[in-house]
Amino acid sequence: MTEMHVDFLSASGAVVIVICATTNVINHHGQAFERQLKFALDTSKKIVHNNTIANIPTILLLVDDDATAQGYVNAVDSFPAVVAVSDYTTVALMNAVRVLFGN
């Protein structure tokens, strides 16, 4: 996360961090979930420790389509808010946005 991110985030209503652990992503790179999780954890810590944006709600959007989904959910249990969706289509993401922010 750069200072430019902090400048934009300070004007936002929420921070949404996305981890995409769909089959095609994991097949392309076996450690994709772990690398994205590390990024998400690091970013979340930076947000909490930055006085300018510490009070902005942080939401983790977890996208997975695999039978190991529960393992992914368990790995992100330190986040204050987790939304899990089963695919990365426009419709699935729009539904998640509606649930989170209303119409």
Neighbours of 49 (CB within 10 A): 9
Q: Is the pLDDT reported for residue 68 higher than 90?
A: no
C-alpha dihedral sign at 21, 25, 31, 34: negative
- 45 or 103: whose pLDDT is higher? 45
Range of the domain at 41: 3-101
- Inter-residue contact 6 to 43 (CB < 8 Å): no
**With 80 as the cut, is the pLDDT of residue 83 above it?**
yes
Q: Are 43 and 59 in contact (CB under 8 A)?
A: no
- Number of domains observed in the structure of the chain: 1
Task: Dump pLDDT digits (tens) for 8-66.
Answer: 887 888 889 999 999 889 899 989 999 999 999 999 998 889 888 888 899 999 999 87
At residue 14, the pLDDT reads 86
E-assigned strand segments in 6-95: 15-21, 58-64, 82-85
Query: In the Cβ-directed half-sphere of 89, how many Cα atoms lie within 13 Å?
Result: 6
CATH of the domain at 81: 3.40.50
pLDDT of residue 67: 65
pTM for the full model? 0.85
Task: Return the SS3 of 20.
Answer: strand
Whether 88 contacts 53, CB under 8 Å: no
What pLDDT does residue 102 have? Answer: 82
Return the higher-pLDDT residue of 69 and 31.
31
